[in-house]
Chains A and B, each alone.
Chain A
Amino acid sequence: GEDVEQSLFLSVREGDSSVINCTYTDSSSTYLYWYKQEPGAGLQLLTYIFSNMDMKQDQRLTVLLNKKDKHLSLRIADTQTGDSAIYFCAEGNNAGNMLTFGGGTRLMVKP
């Protein structure tokens, strides 16, 4: 079945860029998503990219997609302490409506 993998933890200093990586196995993925989860809160949709794109930029967020390698990354520019959270990568495909999630990357931003 489909699988989505992420590294568990990332620590950066305030003002630096953060890069969170994700790999997936389903070659039929049509959309790939990034969600943010703050403590005690739900899954907030940050951004998403269609599989025929290789980059999408939205303010401080840049998503890069390497479809050949099935690798997705989320870059956060000028990382702030408020960006500290767990970031989930998820993939969806036309075969169904379900999303398959990675295990989440905990981003810690040090002042």
Chain B
Amino acid sequence: EPEVTQTPSHQVTQMGQEVILRCVPISNHLYFYWYRQILGQKVEFLVSFYNNEISEKSEIFDDQFSVERPDGSNFTLKIRSTKLEDSAMYFCASSEQGSDQPQHFGDGTRLSIL
């Protein structure tokens, strides 16, 4: 069964550095998403992406964050000037269409900011 794949599985970064989290969505899917889960808290929506642009974003997704689909397969989340509170599990998801199709999630990238 097709899967969403995320790399790396664990990223350790010094505070203030930039990180790029990578995702390969399911190949025929058109909508892409990033969520995060801070330890002990709920899974929170960050951003959705369709047709090479952001379709929706949450209050969390400020100027520190950006997303890109640099080629036909990858979908990336860039976090600039990382802070301690950016430490979380980041999940990528994709769906065939939008709100009427289920979102399939990857295994996540655990981001640890030191």
Q: Which residues of A come within 8 Å of B, CB atoms?
A: 30-31, 33, 35, 41-45, 48, 88, 90, 92-104
A93 to chain B, nearest CB (A): 7
Q: Across the interface, do A92 and B91 meet the contact criterion of CB distance under 8 Å?
A: no
Instruction: Pick from B55, B91, B107: contact of A97, CB below 8 A.
Output: B55
Say yes or no for B99: interface residue by CB 8 A criterion.
yes
A98-B43 contact in complex given A31-B102, A43-B105, A48-B102, C-beta closer than 8 Å: no
B31 to chain A: which residues have CB within 8 Å? Answer: 97
A69 to chain B, nearest CB (A): 22
Q: Across the interface, do B99 and A94 meet the contact criterion of CB distance under 8 Å?
A: yes
A36 to chain B, nearest CB (A): 11
Which of A41, A43, A48, A101 counts the most chain B CB atoms within 10 A? A43
What are 13 residue pairs bridging A and B, where the CB atoms are less than 8 Å apart in the complex? A31-B99, A42-B4, A42-B6, A42-B105, A42-B108, A43-B105, A44-B105, A88-B43, A97-B95, A97-B99, A98-B45, A100-B45, A101-B35
Q: Across the interface, do A98 and B42 meet the contact criterion of CB distance under 8 Å?
A: no
A88 to chain B: which residues have CB within 8 Å? Answer: 43
A59 to chain B, nearest CB (A): 16
Measured between alpha carbons, how far is A104 from B31 in the docked complex, in Å?
25
Complex: chain B residue closest to A43, CB-CB: B105
Query: Which secondary structure characterizes the binding site on chain B?
Result: strand
Total contacting residues, chain B, CB less than 8 A:
28
Q: Across the interface, do B99 and A92 meet the contact criterion of CB distance under 8 Å?
A: yes
Q: Across the interface, do B105 and A98 meet the contact criterion of CB distance under 8 Å?
A: no
Bitwise, B11-35 to A at CB < 8 A (1) or not (0) is 0000000000000000000010101
Instruction: Pick from A43, A98, A102: contact of B91, CB below 8 A.
Output: A43
B100 to chain A: which residues have CB within 8 Å? Answer: 30-31, 94
Measured between alpha carbons, how far is A93 from B43 in the docked complex, in Å?
17
Complex: chain B residue closest to A4, CB-CB: B42
B106 to chain A: which residues have CB within 8 Å? Answer: 42
Interface pairs A-B: 9 shortest CB-CB: A42-B107, A98-B45, A43-B105, A101-B43, A97-B48, A96-B56, A42-B105, A97-B98, A103-B42
